[in-house]
Structure 1
């Protein structure tokens, strides 16, 4: 006669034969082979080219509205349209010896090195400031009254105090 495999109520005392049968049942349930029927499935068939499926972003230019595409093309065209007049202006300046070839070279290399043109422009402004005269000559015809005062204004909230020293 096969052993009894019905579960016993909790807390009931088992005989030795019943305990061995219960252990055999637990082991049989715990270590059974995997089921022959799969529990998940991946559909690898291609999706239809049209239908209710939402669009998926493709590699390359991101999806944009027609208005955005037109605006970006207009900006690219306008940017490219400035290149020939700029090259003509550089050619005229170099031919008339009014341009510094070093500065032009640094401006053309700006995408590769941004810091160098900035330093060159700073040096150019320093040279321009040194070239400017620092003395002023005024020529007057008739009586002239000159009033030279130093003005200091201090503000503290709403009130301001101005001191004029002559």
Structure 2
């Protein structure tokens, strides 16, 4: 209530606290937010053994590795050349052959490192696979029918 006289600090703080409390209190007709958590156990359909999930990648692992290594070598060679150019920009005129001659040892070392890593991976792949599983317990099976239709994809999940 405004009486025309300036308020004291205590009155202003009390009115501010009252306004803040009124702003954050729910209106009388607004329902309070509720939450419900269903704690009933999920039905188990039996002691189903684990099923092997085969790896179905579109790109072979070796091809993806070579692609990543190629991108890495290209970035390494480009940054090495840029660094050498930046270091010697005012001292000498560099040609592409000079940059290539300087980068050859670095690219060679990287190629040897990639070859060693590939050989180690191939040796590991030749080892017999581990056939035990690290998980225990019953497996539940949930079947869902998922359909997606329309120009703006509407997905419906039927359980």
User: What band does the TM-score fall into relative to the shorter chain?
Assistant: under 0.3
Structure with higher helix content: 2
Higher RCO structure, 1 or 2 (CA under 8 Å, sep 6+): 2
TM-score (norm 2): 0.24
TM-score (norm 1): 0.23
